[in-house]
Structure 1
């Protein structure tokens, strides 16, 4: 035998009728799921009959998944059985991403305050109109823009540290561990250790040092600009080591022969960095910046513990503002709408960032 028949998959004779049956199974079960889910969502707003729980939608979803798996085999035969192996991953994505997103949208278009006895009530676009007039939310978005732009400075510092630790200096291993220590701390610990202790205006050691130097009544969080800068510094101190270790790994993966060839050709250290090291580090740099942006967009714990968004919302991030909307005002509907709009901004921003990064990394020839 020229080949092992155990690994030979024959193509089934799939008739047009089988394809139509499989298509009908998928779309009919999906339509049933949409109808039942829509019925339950409207029932939550007292527009239709309200079921006691969400089990009908769960059963309809399981029925759709079953029909989808059967339809794969009906439409594609033996090849469909192979495709069944990716169904668990697909179900996981739908269950963990799509379904919560739809449920969140149902909450976003409602007036749902946990302190109210009326419960969840549909209010149309009232939350959007309230958001449009909410100066504190737009101020938090503006702050988030400044916090994100600060990543440029963090990247420069992290790149410099990575270059330093990649060179032949004494106690290099010690400094690698020492520079990683802030990353090992929780942001909550950093906020209490630095923001609440070291920067405390009355008894903090930095405030005492400032008074010794002749600065009267030093206040690090009383002024809006100063408080925002302190938040940026504490967050940068925590996460610069993360970018540094990624850039250091990228530097160590660059072949030494390339840099040595550039030196032989007469390139100065700056030319070597500009023409060889930095272009080769672009993929790692883009990855490090992108992951850092993801962490930055979730900035909340330092702000909540140190300033609670003050003074007057000057240091608020969108995440900390939404957190207070939930915790202090128990306004679930409005807070969810703010989170959904923030998600839209994140998707648009990341799409533009990836397109610019791809254009930047495109070869010039």
Structure 2
């Protein structure tokens, strides 16, 4: 009779590994079949199904337990260590992946809260409507403008960071003062500036322009002036965010490098362009990418000040989706817009990071 092989600490037999895989595949098949069965019933493809999605939730819980058991059975001590990250994985699936998949499902339905028909599957009808929607294309074009203005915000933020890093009087006071806009919410900024200071009849900025001789000044009457006004308010709120990151990077630079450049005869501009700016590239890229991510979500100021007007001139994709939900109660089409925008953001950020990494390697 053959003897059992001697196992080292933490090793398992091939039979236990096959058993672990069988447990995972069995629980996965049960969860898939349960979800598919209920999905077909919800779509009206079959007349039988569960009264609610609760059995699918039970199957998901059973799948999570089976996954933990299978890890211990198949991998022994290593499987026990994997149990510590299993709750985080299950939470991510439940709170991120499943809602995203459910969002794609809603995007393929005709679901208007103002209609009594309820939710109906309509396939790619929402996609065709989105491709033919001039307001959505206009919002995408506006986002190109808003994102491009991040470079202007970066230049201003870098200048302020250099100023606050210099030996000037009341430097600590100015650091706190410049950070005040960041402490305000965009909603407060939209009401304090957009609805008050820029008000056409009684706003102080409008009255000042009238005093200078401008007839009927309007910050939100012309499409381009309205767009620039929205951009100015958003920039005033978030430039301090970039400024504080760049200021931290400037303070972390080694002083001996800039001092060596000055000893070699470099003037202030040569020192900045040849020493300071190259050393600040990693911090600059981080600040710009984070600011672009925030810019892609711009909505609060637009919704409160212009509601996308005049004629959609200031609309962002997020504010347009918000109005599609709130004003038209069109959940299905609004979700299709949101899912499409999510995909575009992922593709754009991925491409941006690749281009930035390639540029950094060429710059080095």
In 2, Cα distance between the equivalents of 1:46 and 1:298? 36
With normalisation by structure 2, the TM-score equals 0.95
Structure 1: 5+ residue stretches without partners = 1-8
Query: 1:43 Cα shift?
Result: 2.1
2:289 matched to 1:290? yes
Moved more, 87-96 or 155-164: 87-96
Tell me: CA distance 1:213–1:276, structure 2 relative to 1, closer, same or farther (3 Å): same
| 8 Å CA contact retained: 1:188, 1:301 | yes
2:361 matched to 1:362? yes
Moved more, 295-304 or 13-22: 13-22
| 8 Å CA contact retained: 2:308, 2:319 | yes
In structure 1, the partner of 2:36 is: 38
Aligned counterparts, 1:67-216, within 5 A: 67-216=66-215
In 2, Cα distance between the equivalents of 1:362 and 1:28? 48
In structure 2, the partner of 1:238 is: 237
2:29 matched to 1:26? no
Moved more, 308-317 or 267-276: 267-276
| 8 Å CA contact retained: 1:41, 1:106 | no
RMSD of aligned C-alpha atoms? 1.5
In 1, Cα distance between the equivalents of 2:26 and 2:266? 68
In 2, Cα distance between the equivalents of 1:236 and 1:168? 26
CA deviation string 1:243-265 (max 9, x = no partner): 10111111111111221122222
In 2, Cα distance between the equivalents of 1:12 and 1:216? 82
Aligned length: 357
CA deviation string 1:124-148 (max 9, x = no partner): 0000010011000110011011101
In structure 2, the partner of 1:304 is: 303
Structure 2: 5+ residue stretches without partners = 1-6
Aligned counterparts, 1:262-301, within 5 A: 262-301=261-300
In 2, Cα distance between the equivalents of 1:188 and 1:278? 35
In 1, Cα distance between the equivalents of 2:42 and 2:183? 45
Moved more, 265-274 or 195-204: 265-274
In 2, Cα distance between the equivalents of 1:132 and 1:281? 41
With normalisation by structure 1, the TM-score equals 0.95
| 8 Å CA contact retained: 2:11, 2:75 | no
| 8 Å CA contact retained: 1:29, 1:63 | yes
CA deviation string 1:217-246 (max 9, x = no partner): 111111111111100000000000011011
Query: 1:104 Cα shift?
Result: 0.7
In structure 1, the partner of 2:4 is: none
In 1, Cα distance between the equivalents of 2:289 and 2:113? 36
